[in-house]
Amino acid sequence: MSPTQQLLQSADLISQGAEAAIYKAYLRQLPTSGQAKNVGSDSPCHEVLEPVLLKYRFHKRYRHPSLDTSLTRQRIAGESRALMRCMKSGVNVPGIRMVDVNEGVLGIEWIEGKSVRQLLPGGAELEDIDELEEMDEVEDTDATDALVEYGVSRDALMDMIGVEIAKMHSSDVIHGDLTTSNMMLKEKTRDLILIDFGLAYYSTLVEDKAVDLYVLERAFASTHPDSEPLFSGVLAAYEKRMGKNWVPIKRRLDDVRLRGRKRSMVG
- Give the residue extent of every domain in the chain: 3-109, 113-259
Looking at every residue in the chain, the average pLDDT score rounds to: 87
CA distance 218 to 224: 10
Distance of CA 178 to the CA centre of its chain: 8
Q: Look at residues 103, 53, 253, 245 and name the one whose alpha carbon lies nearest to residue 168.
A: 245
The domain made up of 3-109 has a fold known as: Phosphorylase Kinase; domain 1 (3.30.200)
Question: What pLDDT was estimated at residue 48?
Answer: 84
Residue 187: phi and psi, rounded to 5, are: -60, -50
Cα-based distances in Å from 96 to 107, 127, 232: 6, 41, 32
Distance of CA 174 to the CA centre of its chain: 12
Question: What pLDDT was estimated at residue 30?
Answer: 61
CB-CB contact of 253 with 208 (8 Å): no
CB-CB contact of 8 with 58 (8 Å): no
- Architecture of the structural domain at 113-259: Orthogonal Bundle (1.10)
CB-CB contact of 69 with 172 (8 Å): no
Tell me which residues are annotated as active site. 177
Sites in the chain below the pLDDT cut of 50: 39-41, 43, 124-139, 267
- What predicted TM-score, i.e. pTM, was given to this entire model? 0.85
